[in-house]
Structures are given as structure tokens and as C-alpha cells.
Amino acid sequence: MDFSNKHVVVTGGTGALGAAVVAGLLRGGAHCIVPYRAELEAQRFAHRGDPNVTMIAVGDLADETQVARVYAGLSAVSSLWASIHIAGGFAPGSVADTDKAALMTQLNGNLVSCFLCCRAAIGAMRAGRQGGRIVNVASRQALEWRSGAGMAAYTIAKSGVATLTTTLAEEVVREGILVNAVAPSIMDTSANRAGMPQADFNAWPKVDEVAATILFLASPDNKVTRGAVVPVYGKV
């Protein structure tokens, strides 16, 4: 897929899935803007130092001012083509065991951050007047609510991401901006393997496979898909 001379924001780009997405974008010729939260994760990032990667320290993507700073340089001169929102977090917990602080952590980390980045991306794309693509990351629980039992706040937040995706897709399609999301199940990462050592790792979707779906949805090759929340479950 050809991303030549296209600017793409990737939140969560220093994580396992994000790094796979950034690698694919770089192979396609993109310039990637990667916000990061912790200096240690930035130091470990495989694509740090690549001339087509711009890294921006951001403490909180649920803060409007900090999000605006990420997108501020993307004007009509160097217009934004795509914004891919992978940043988020997981925490288990039933409703009875989840207090307001834990709920708000999941809402801010998964839904509010995605909303603010979508909002800022739309502004940058409108300035460029070339259309664009937005890809969010929901979860399997966002499509299969009952499977979210025991992880209520996370499921609520990711369900909000799915709803945001379909709503925004309708709002901006006539401007040539296509908005979609992927909904992964448990992905095959070293952290997930360590946390669930007895699981069948072969059944889990690989990060490169999930990244391939994201890259298509974000690419100029995607000319018609919008408002979709695409299951990427593997064999689970």
C-alpha cells in the first residue's frame, strides 16, 4: 500500500501493535507522527531515529491542549492523511468492584483520548482539503457485550469507541474522510503470553495481521469502507 509523502499520526505507536503499524507505514513511504507518554518506551521504540518518524512527548491524550499540540503542525502545507488511534489501556473489574476513579481511568484512556484525537484529526484534514482516513481500535467486547463481564469499565469505554466510529463516519464521509475501527480479541504479544501462559497462543491474532487490517483501512486503497468495526479475532 502506497503512503508516499503522506503524514500519519499513530497514537500508541510505541506499543506492540503500534510498532507493527508504524513499520508498515514506513515501508509504504509515510511520515509518521508518534506521540508517546514515557521516555523509556520512546527509547525502546524500534523506529526511533528514522528520518520519517517524528516523536512527540505527550503526558495525557485525554487533555485537549496536549492533543492539539500533536496535530498543530499538520496544516495545509503538510496535510494530515490518516490518524490511527491505538493508545489505550486495560483493567479487569466487575461493576461491584469498580469505583468512579477506575471507571474514569478507562473512559479517559480509551474513549476520551480517541474522541479528542478524532476531533483534532478532522480539523487537520479539513485544513488540507484532501480527505483522509481515521482508524480507531475498539475491542471484541465492544461488539460482544456479554463477553465483557468482569471487565465492565473497559467494555463500556471500548463500546464508546465503536459508537464514536460509526457516528463520526456519517458526519464526515462527504468530505472524503473515511472512519473505521478494528475490534481485536486477545493479541499474541509477549505481555499477553506472560499473563496467560496456559493459553493457546496459536489461536490469537498476530499483531502483524491486525496491523495489516489497520493499514488497509488507513490507505488510499480503501475507497468505500466506512463506519465499520471490523472483527480481528484470529481463531479464538
Q: Checking DSSP bridges between strand 7-11 and strand 80-85, what pairing results, if any?
A: parallel
Residue 38: inside a domain, yes or no?
yes
**Cα–Cα nearest to 179, from 124, 224, 129:** 224
Residue 27: inside a domain, yes or no?
yes
pLDDT of residue 73: 76
Which of the 8 DSSP states describes residue 205? P
Residue 1: inside a domain, yes or no?
no
**Cα–Cα nearest to 26, from 54, 4, 56:** 4
pLDDT of residue 234: 84
The pLDDT-based confidence of 213 (bands split at 50, 70, 90) is: very high
pLDDT in tens, 134-184: 999 999 999 999 999 999 999 999 999 999 999 999 999 999 999 999 999
Residue 172: inside a domain, yes or no?
yes
Residue 94: inside a domain, yes or no?
yes
pLDDT in tens, 50-82: 999 999 999 999 999 999 999 997 754 568 999
Residue 131: inside a domain, yes or no?
yes
Residue 2: inside a domain, yes or no?
no
The residue that leads in pLDDT, 178 or 129, is 178
The residue that leads in pLDDT, 222 or 41, is 222
Which residues form the catalytic set? 154
Of 64-78, 188-202, 205-219, the poorest mean pLDDT is in: 64-78
Residue 94's contacts (CB-CB under 8 Å, 6 or more residues apart) are: 149, 150, 152
pLDDT of residue 78: 66
Q: Which residue range is the domain that position 137 belongs to?
A: 7-232
CATH of the domain at 103: 3.40.50.720
Residue 113: inside a domain, yes or no?
yes
Question: In total, how many domains does the chain have?
Answer: 1
**Cα–Cα nearest to 77, from 10, 2, 177, 5:** 5
Average confidence (pLDDT) over 202-206: 92
226 forms bridges with which residues in the sheet?
Answer: none
